[in-house]
Amino acid sequence: MKKTKTKAELNDTFNYFVNIFNENNIPLIIFYGTLLGYTRNYDLIDGDDDIDVLVNKENYQQIIEIIQKNNFTVSVRNKSIIQLIYDNVPFDIYFYKIFDDNFYIDWDGGLNFKNELIFPLQQVEFLNKIVYVPNKKEVVCGLVYGEKWRIPLNKNQYNWHHETCVKLEKNKNF
């Protein structure tokens, strides 16, 4: 189990990486626990263990170049996720692609959302930084965390990937 972090630790990591990716014109969509905190309280969740963002798979090589240029500490790197570390706090970058009318995240068996839940992305200011959130962020939180998403619970108490969130087989073209 990952060690929980304070809001200050999470905030420092968020600011550090968001600054760099914004400077390089890579749009970041906050997701998972980071989106949950934003949607519920417009803040990070005290006691969360990481920062979660989504990036278009088309930006994968550019991110690799940024990592190399900045000599970032990388904990995990594969075709689905890159986990960067800043001050012992993970910054998880999950990659997505668009297939037909579906927004596909190749993680945890593959998560699929209808495009209209994600697009058009909403540009927001979060912790004094510009990031993006899904078009229907409340619906997305409900699909990912289940009907109790509005209630602060421990991670293991949520109904992860509620049955209305369609899981797909891994796409070989990802």
**What's the pLDDT tens digit per position in 118-133?**
999 999 999 999 999 9
Confidence category of residue 160, pLDDT binned at 50, 70, 90: low
pLDDT of residue 154: 78
Query: Torsion angle of alpha carbons 44, 136, 109, 6, nearest 10°?
Result: 0
Q: Domains, the chain, ranges and CATH?
A: 7-167 (3.30.460.40)
Angstrom distance (rounded) from CA 43 to CA 85: 20
Q: Is the pTM of this model over 0.75?
A: yes
Burial class (CB in 10 A: 0-12, 13-18, 19+), 174: middle
Cα–chain center distance at 118: 13
